[in-house]
Chain A
Amino acid sequence: MYHDIIIIGAGVVGCAIARELSRYEADICVLEREEDVCCGASKANSAIIHAGYDALPGTLKAKFNVLGSQMMPRLAAELDIPFRPIGSLVVRTKDQPETLLEELLERGQKNGVPKLRILEQEELRRLEPNLAPDVVSALYAPTAAIVCPFHMTIAFAENACVNGAIFHLNTTVDRIEKAASGYDVHTDQGIFSGRVIINAAGVYADRFHNMVSADKLHITARRGEYQLFDKTAGNHVSHTIFQLPGKMGKGTLVTPTVHGNLLVGPTAEDTENKEGTNTTLEGLSSLAARASLSVVNLPMRQVITSFAGLRAHEDSGDFIIGEVSDAPGFIDVAGIESPGLSSAPAIGAEVAGLAAELLSLKKKQDFVSTRTGICRPSELSLEQRNDLIRKQPAYGNIVCRCEMVSEGEIIDAIHRPLGARSLDGVKRRVRAGMGRCQGGFCSPRVMEILAREVPMDMLAVTKSGGRSGIVCGYNKEL
Chain B
Amino acid sequence: MENYDLIVIGGGPAGLAAAAAARENGVENILVLERDKEPGGILNQCIHNGFGLHTFQEELTGPEYAARFIEKVEKLDIPYLLNTMVMDITEDKIVTAMNREKGMFQLSAKAIILAMGCRERSRGALNIPGYRPAGIFSAGTAQRLVNMEGYMPGKEVVILGSGDIGLIMARRLTLEGAKVKVVAELMPYSGGLKRNIVQCLNDFDIPLKLSHTVVDIDGKDRVKSVTIAEVDADGKPIPGTEESYCCDTLLLSCGLIPENELSKNAGVALNPVTSGPIVNDALETSVEGIFACGNVLHVHDLVDYVTEEASNAGRHAAAYILKGAATDTRRISITPADGVRYTVPSCIRPGHMEETLTVRFRVGAIYKNSSIVTCFDGEPVNRRRRPVMAPGEMESIVLERKTLEKYPDLKEITIRIE
Listed in ascending order, the chain A residues whose CB lies under 8 Å from chain B are 227-228, 232, 275, 277-281, 283-285, 301, 303-307, 382, 385-386, 389-390, 393-394, 396-398, 401-402, 404, 436-441, 443-444, 458-459, 462-464, 466-478
Question: Do A279 and B221 contact each other (CB < 8 Å), given the known contacts A396-B101, A404-B87, A478-B155?
Answer: no
Return the contact of A478 from the options B102, B131, B141, B177 (Cβ within 8 A).
Answer: B177
Question: Do A440 and B138 contact each other (CB < 8 Å), given the known contacts A307-B132, A471-B153?
Answer: yes
List of 7 A-B pairs having minimum Cβ-Cβ separation, nearest first: A305-B124, A478-B177, A463-B134, A438-B122, A386-B103, A471-B151, A393-B100
- CB contacts (< 8 Å) of A476 on chain B: these are 176-177
- CB contacts (< 8 Å) of A281 on chain B: these are 129, 215-216, 237
* Contact-size category for B: 35 or more
Contact B151 A474 (CB under 8 A): yes
- B12 to A: closest C-beta gap in Å: 13
Indicate with 1 or 0, residue by residue over B135-162, a CB within 8 angstroms of chain A CB atoms: 1001011001110011111110000000
Q: Which residue from chain B places its CB closest to the CB of A393 in the assembled complex? A: B100
A-B contacts counted at CB < 8 A amount to: 145
- Helix, strand, loop or mixed for chain B's interface? mixed
Contact A472 B152 (CB under 8 A): yes
Q: Which residue from chain B places its CB closest to the CB of A281 in the assembled complex? A: B129
- CB contacts (< 8 Å) of A394 on chain B: these are 100
Q: Is B316 an interface residue (CB 8 A)?
A: no
Q: Is B104 an interface residue (CB 8 A)?
A: yes
- CB contacts (< 8 Å) of B119 on chain A: these are 436-437, 440-441
- B319 to A: closest C-beta gap in Å: 31
Return the contact of A401 from the options B85, B140, B176 (Cβ within 8 A).
Answer: B85
Q: Is B99 an interface residue (CB 8 A)?
A: yes
Question: Do A473 and B99 contact each other (CB < 8 Å), given the known contacts A436-B119, A440-B120, A443-B141?
Answer: no
CA gap between A444 and B101 in the complex, in Å: 23
Q: Is B399 an interface residue (CB 8 A)?
A: no
- CB contacts (< 8 Å) of B216 on chain A: these are 278, 281
Contact B131 A277 (CB under 8 A): yes
Q: Which residue from chain A places its CB closest to the CB of B87 in the assembled complex? A: A404
Indicate with 1 or 0, residue by residue over B81-109, a CB within 8 angstroms of chain A CB atoms: 00101010000000000111111100000
Indicate with 1 or 0, residue by residue over B402-413, a CB within 8 angstroms of chain A CB atoms: 000000000000
- CB contacts (< 8 Å) of A385 on chain B: these are 103-104
Contact A472 B177 (CB under 8 A): no
- B87 to A: closest C-beta gap in Å: 7
- CB contacts (< 8 Å) of A397 on chain B: these are 83, 99-100
CA gap between A473 and B122 in the complex, in Å: 24
Q: Is B35 an interface residue (CB 8 A)?
A: yes
CA gap between A389 and B84 in the complex, in Å: 13
Q: 11 additional contacts, CB 8 Å, given A279-B130, A459-B151, A477-B177?
A: A228-B124, A275-B220, A278-B129, A280-B129, A284-B129, A303-B127, A390-B103, A396-B103, A404-B85, A443-B141, A444-B149
Contact A444 B144 (CB under 8 A): yes
Question: Do A306 and B145 contact each other (CB < 8 Å), given the known contacts A275-B220, A393-B101?
Answer: no
- A202 to B: closest C-beta gap in Å: 15
Question: Do A389 and B124 contact each other (CB < 8 Å), given the known contacts A281-B215, A440-B140, A444-B145?
Answer: no
- CB contacts (< 8 Å) of A470 on chain B: these are 134-135, 153
Question: Do A438 and B123 contact each other (CB < 8 Å), given the known contacts A281-B237, A469-B222?
Answer: yes
Interface hub of B123, B152, B176, B215 (most chain A Cβ within 10 A): B152
Question: Do A389 and B100 contact each other (CB < 8 Å), given the known contacts A463-B134, A471-B153?
Answer: yes
7 A-B pairs in the complex with CB atoms less than 8 angstroms apart: A398-B35, A398-B85, A439-B141, A444-B149, A464-B134, A464-B221, A468-B222
Contact A306 B127 (CB under 8 A): yes
CA gap between A466 and B221 in the complex, in Å: 7
Q: Which residue from chain B places its CB closest to the CB of A278 in the assembled complex? A: B131
CA gap between A404 and B85 in the complex, in Å: 9
Contact B100 A471 (CB under 8 A): no
- A39 to B: closest C-beta gap in Å: 12
- B16 to A: closest C-beta gap in Å: 19
CA gap between A398 and B152 in the complex, in Å: 25
CA gap between A462 and B134 in the complex, in Å: 8
Q: Is B309 an interface residue (CB 8 A)?
A: no
- B186 to A: closest C-beta gap in Å: 14
Q: Is B248 an interface residue (CB 8 A)?
A: yes
- A390 to B: closest C-beta gap in Å: 7
CA gap between A326 and B119 in the complex, in Å: 59
- B215 to A: closest C-beta gap in Å: 6
